[in-house]
Amino acid sequence: MARTVKNTKTPEQRRAEVDELQAKIADQVEALRESEAWARFLDFAKAFHRYSINNLLLIFGQCPEASHVAGYRTWQKLNRQVRKGERGIRIYGGRVVRETVENPTTGQEEEQPRTMFFPVSVFDMGQTDLIDPEAGDPADIARPLTGEDTAGILDAVTDYLTGQGWTVERESIPGGTQGYTEPETRRVVLDPDLSPAQAAKTALHEAAHVLLHAEEDHAEYVEHRGIKETEAESVAYVVAGILGIDTSAYSVGYVAGWSQCDAGTIKATAANVRRAAHILADALTEQPKAADLAA
């Protein structure tokens, strides 16, 4: 029998709580916009390129857990050092060169710009360490959760996903990534070193990816990853809140980073968040007995 989380709220009460929590995370992200932490994060984020869809596919094909990707020297400028022995992610870089060609109309030689493409190596932030820890890490706006999973959320999510034909595994993930979903093998992977509370939240995040994004074309996910991550973490925040864990310390910064602190983006994803949150909350909680409702 699948394990569930004890919860005496009626389905109607849970639905009202979903709406309240969804609105709350949008408000908290909006408040973060005024903070010093967000200003520091923005300065950090400006250092990263917007890669073409082809390069994004190359990045996530080689390193599916990648978050922020940059070249070796760019990381040094950001107070981070690529660790010795780390293998680069190979993508295509471009450089504009000027070459002399003959104009077929006039027969005159003229200079024309042309973009040359060549393979380059970039590295994910998880392949780096802080050079000067005392200077702080501007990327750190999402603080990992501590504490226990007293409600048994991880077990309940594991049983739910297993019942849907997925496997849930614990294995070390390089680069500090906490979990990922692999639709091709119907596998969810969680890092074994997470605290119980963080593991529970991460399991909810990956379950949201399973519900919302597993059947999508991979290129669609890569191109709109910010929206997909905003949706998944919002679902984790909402469902965890219903089940008794406040994940604000992690979820607000995570959603802010992926949504670029745009409350409009968060509100635009609300329909998908509500749908997945309702499905998960209903699947993971016991149906209240008549005696519970009368109490």
pLDDT tens-digit readout, 33-77: 888 887 777 777 766 667 888 888 898 888 887 878 999 999 998
Which one-letter DSSP state was computed for residue 68? S
pLDDT tens-digit readout, 188-221: 999 999 999 999 999 999 999 999 999 998 888 8
| Amino acid at the residue 124 | D
Token pair belonging to 138:
């501007």
How many Å apart are CA 11 and CA 227, to the nearest integer? Answer: 27
3-state secondary structure of 111: strand
What's phi and psi for 244, nearest 5 deg? Answer: 105, 10
Pinpoint the alpha helices (H) of the chain: 11-32, 36-45, 53-62, 72-77, 153-163, 196-213, 218-223, 225-242, 248-259, 263-268, 270-284, 290-294
Considering the entire predicted model, what is its pTM? 0.75
- Nearest one of 141, 128, 140 to 80, comparing CA atoms: 128
3-state secondary structure of 124: strand
